[in-house]
Structure 1
Amino acid sequence: MSDIVVEKETEQQFEVQAELNYLVPTGVKPVSYAYDPPPGVPRRTGEYRARTVTISNARLRPPPGGLSLDRNGFELHRSTPALADFSGEAAIRSTYYAQSERLLKQWTGAKRVVIFDHTLRDGGAARAGGVKEPVHLIHNDQTFVSGPRRVRDHLPAEEAARLLRGRFAIVNLWRPVGEVVESSPLALCDSRSIDPRDAVAQDFIYPTMTGETYAFVHNAQHRWYYFPRMTPDEALLIKIYDSAGDDIARFTAHTAFDDPASPPDARPRRSIELRTLLFF
């Protein structure tokens, strides 16, 4: 993986202190809606509390042993996107999906890649056409229950049953759109620092189905990292689920956060994330 991005000499800060939003455990399963819920129903339940943590600059101070998707749950690569303009849905699904499928095979060794959806995000006030805001709550997009269910959701039953007998993973491919990230960068937790008991399943309700994601309770052992000022020619892989054994990172936690190093006139962050099934 010779194109993995580890360091940018222009970055000088080794770490920042910032607040991340952790779930407060109450014993009640939280619920979130992917759409506007019925009148009187809250968009999200669950109590969150901000905790000040150290977030290391992964370009200058990567995890011990270096970065690896299968060890730490995330890694960064350099590649120029096939699209300069992400405003067209059809172009994203044809041109950008095709390039991303090739890159994911190259970077992970997966024999087959199925991209099952994508989300555009914009931290500005004027969002339209399904574009969403960055998520400032610590989370992971799937659970050990919902991960295998995604294979059954997106592939024919017989094919899904066959593929589920082998190793598969769910990986997000995340990259900035248009310009350098100056605000709301992603913080990523080293998978090795997460106790499985830190992850709390929550229902994620869509118009036609109910999924399940993880929220996370605070643990002082969590080790957080970020990549300051990511550019559109950098792509971040985030491990969401892996059916492999305990010696491989099975998931990680991530969240957008308010970077104290952001300039006062920082531009709103724009990004795209692809959610993918990888079969090995």
Structure 2
Amino acid sequence: MESAEHTVPAKVRYINAEWKGKDDSPRIGSRESRRANTSFQDVRVHDARPRLEAGELTLDKNGFTLTQHHSAVTDFRDDNELERVYHKEMEALICRVTGADHCFARSHLIRTEKPIDFNDGYARFVHCDYNMKRLQEMSETVLETHGVEPQKNWIYVWYNTWQPFDHPVENNPLAFIDWESLPLDDVIDYYYTGRNNDSLVAAPVHSETHKWCYFPDMTTNEVIVLKQMDGRTGDRSVYCPHTSFDFLEQDDDSLPRRSVETRLLAVFEAN
């Protein structure tokens, strides 16, 4: 008989279900627009470590995984060092974890308890970072930025990495929906409008069938990898919706979460 999985309660914001099936899409890029278009839902978040250790989790099946990485970065608040050192580290990590032939970093983002603005703060509603409708366009833009000519046999997959720094995660961990519990029909379009953007992205509406997961007690030498878009055919995960969440029973003196995330284009060469 299998033992019950350890879970913690959480409140997470989903885009309001009223948007599903509408011709129009919500636009979110501020606290005000987030409040207007999202609502809290009560969920249970499962400890994913036992399934990972049992070999039951894969990026292509579930949309997320966890791996080890000891970074050579000395100052995670130094954008130049991140671009020079960390981007290369994450490109190599993605190739190692996924088997991709090439990887190109698009950007990074630092999140701490003292954000510059709404867009730098902890991600407080359930979202995907991209939209499959933009896969080709975004991939070609990143390749152009890197001075790389696309090849006809290249297939594109996008990933995120997420790593704590300064100290282990005590609060505001990252949670994500297991792809096996997420019907693609639950994912709708929305527009990210922060910092003068109007970018088409995606997010799910709430369903009781969604299985939420996280990796508790993450150390600074652990990295979450999330699937964000996948241009390959077959029965694979496409999105990994995610959000940060607060532990409902948390000591006030817990250390603030500090993390670095990168967004990367992986290239697989078709035979």
TM-score bin, normalised by smaller chain: 0.7 to 0.9
For 1:251, the equivalent position in structure 2 comes to 239
For 2:123, the equivalent position in structure 1 comes to 135
For 2:156, the equivalent position in structure 1 comes to 168
Q: Are 1:73 and 1:190, in contact at CA under 8 Å, matched by a contact in 2?
A: yes
More helix by percentage = 2
1:153-206 deviation line (CA, Å, top 9, x unaligned): 22239966535x532110001100111111110111111111112111111236
Whole-Å separation in 2 of the counterparts to 1:151 and 1:108: 17
The change in CA–CA distance for 1:248 and 1:61 in structure 2 (over 3 A counts) is closer
Whole-Å separation in 2 of the counterparts to 1:191 and 1:120: 26
- Cα deviation for residue 144 of structure 1 reads 1.3
The secondary structure found in structure 1 opposite 2:86 is: helix
The secondary structure found in structure 2 opposite 1:250 is: coil
What letter matches 1:151 in structure 2?
S
> What count of residue pairs does the alignment treat as equivalent?
260
Aligned: 1:80 with 2:76: no
The change in CA–CA distance for 1:277 and 1:46 in structure 2 (over 3 A counts) is farther
For 2:261, the equivalent position in structure 1 comes to 273
Q: Please report the TM-score for the alignment, with normalisation by the length of structure 1.
A: 0.84
Q: Are 2:62 and 2:178, in contact at CA under 8 Å, matched by a contact in 1?
A: yes
- Cα deviation for residue 104 of structure 1 reads 1.4
For 2:26, the equivalent position in structure 1 comes to 30
What letter matches 2:151 in structure 1?
R
Q: Give unmatched runs, 5+ long, in structure 2.
A: none
**In percent, how many aligned pairs have the same letter?**
27
Q: Please report the TM-score for the alignment, with normalisation by the length of structure 2.
A: 0.86
For 2:83, the equivalent position in structure 1 comes to 93
The change in CA–CA distance for 1:211 and 1:94 in structure 2 (over 3 A counts) is same
For residue 177 of structure 2, the aligned residue among 182, 189, 194 is: 189
The change in CA–CA distance for 1:72 and 1:96 in structure 2 (over 3 A counts) is same
Whole-Å separation in 2 of the counterparts to 1:63 and 1:213: 32
What letter matches 2:27 in structure 1?
V
- Stretch deviating more after TM superposition (195-204 or 256-265): 256-265
What letter matches 1:32 in structure 2?
I
- Cα deviation for residue 243 of structure 1 reads 0.6
Q: Are 2:128 and 2:240, in contact at CA under 8 Å, matched by a contact in 1?
A: yes
Aligned: 1:58 with 2:48: yes
The change in CA–CA distance for 1:42 and 1:270 in structure 2 (over 3 A counts) is same
The change in CA–CA distance for 1:160 and 1:211 in structure 2 (over 3 A counts) is farther
For 1:49, the equivalent position in structure 2 comes to 39
For residue 103 of structure 1, the aligned residue among 77, 93, 118 is: 93
1:84-115 deviation line (CA, Å, top 9, x unaligned): 32121111101111222112111111111110
The change in CA–CA distance for 1:230 and 1:65 in structure 2 (over 3 A counts) is closer
What letter matches 1:162 in structure 2?
Q
The secondary structure found in structure 2 opposite 1:259 is: coil
Q: Are 1:120 and 1:131, in contact at CA under 8 Å, matched by a contact in 2?
A: no
**1:110-259 counterparts in 2 under 5 A?**
110-122=100-112, 124=113, 126-128=114-116, 132-156=120-144, 162=151, 166-205=154-193, 210-259=198-247
Q: Are 1:172 and 1:276, in contact at CA under 8 Å, matched by a contact in 2?
A: yes
Q: Are 2:169 and 2:217, in contact at CA under 8 Å, matched by a contact in 1?
A: yes
